[in-house]
Amino acid sequence: MKIALINENSQAGKNKIIYETLKKVVQPKGHEVFNYGMYSADDEAQLTYVQNGILAAILLNSGAADYIITGCGTGEGAMLACNSFPGVICGHVQDPTDAYLFAQVNDGNAIAMPFAKGFGWGAELNLEDIFTRLFQGESGKGYPKERVVPEQRNKKILDEVKKVTYKDMATILKDIDQDLLKGAIGGEKFKEYFFANCKCEEMKEIIKNILGK
């Protein structure tokens, strides 16, 4: 699994600790981590939580990433931004129980965390526990056992509803504010990571054209 980490400007200073903790948990499971930044508050490319959502949607819909770890001060804005796009099911995760239940009940592909809340002494321990629970075995297995069938049925229903209620990603990339979009894909490592991992030729060409303008 390719896991992408995205931090917006207000919490960019925490990128390193989040990245290192995430790698510690998931690399032994055979997953890869791609750090899309922001790497520090002084980065030239400044991401807002809205742009976190844009970038997350590009990565997931193109196949350049299989899972997104993101957030903001409260986690709410990043979650709302991510869920504004097709192909993204983002949960708000604050503790290990949230992480486990979101993975098992909702079977999503992104989480948004409140990096300004409770991020003090021992913050890396909470992160480690969250990531451990989030990637504990196969997701979508349901919880508790007696609720597995209706939970899995509801997830399939949600997937079908999202197909109807959202435009396709290629259309969104053409219609969205282009300056906002360019800012979302302007990070230091974006070109390197995206083009090496993108599986959708249509989106690859769209992004090439946008970057070339």
CA 43/CA 54 separation, integer angstroms: 18
Q: Measuring CA to CA, which residue among 173, 202, 206 is closest to residue 55?
A: 173
At CA 14, angle to CA 54 and CA 48, rounded to 5?
A: 25
Dihedral of alpha carbons 22, 5, 122, 14, sign: positive
Question: Cα separation of 80 and 103, whole Å?
Answer: 18
pTM, rounded to two decimals: 0.95
**3-class SS at 122?**
coil
In the chain the domains, ranked by start, together with CATH numbers, are 2-212 (3.40.1400.10)
Percent of the chain scoring above 70 in pLDDT: 100
Torsion angle of alpha carbons 165, 86, 76, 26, nearest 10°?
150
pLDDT at 213: 58
Two structure tokens written together for 7: 């931090």
Looking at residue 171, its pLDDT comes to 93
Residues of the chain with pLDDT under 70: 213
pLDDT digits (tens, 9 = 90+) for 83-99: 999 999 999 999 999 99
**CB proximity list for 8: less than 8 A, separation 6 or greater:** 38, 47, 48, 49, 51, 52, 70, 71, 72, 78
Among the listed residues 152, 1, 139, the one whose alpha carbon sits nearest the alpha carbon of residue 67: 1
Sign of the C-alpha dihedral, residues 170, 85, 108, 198?
A: positive
CA angle 83, 62, 85 (to 5 degrees): 15
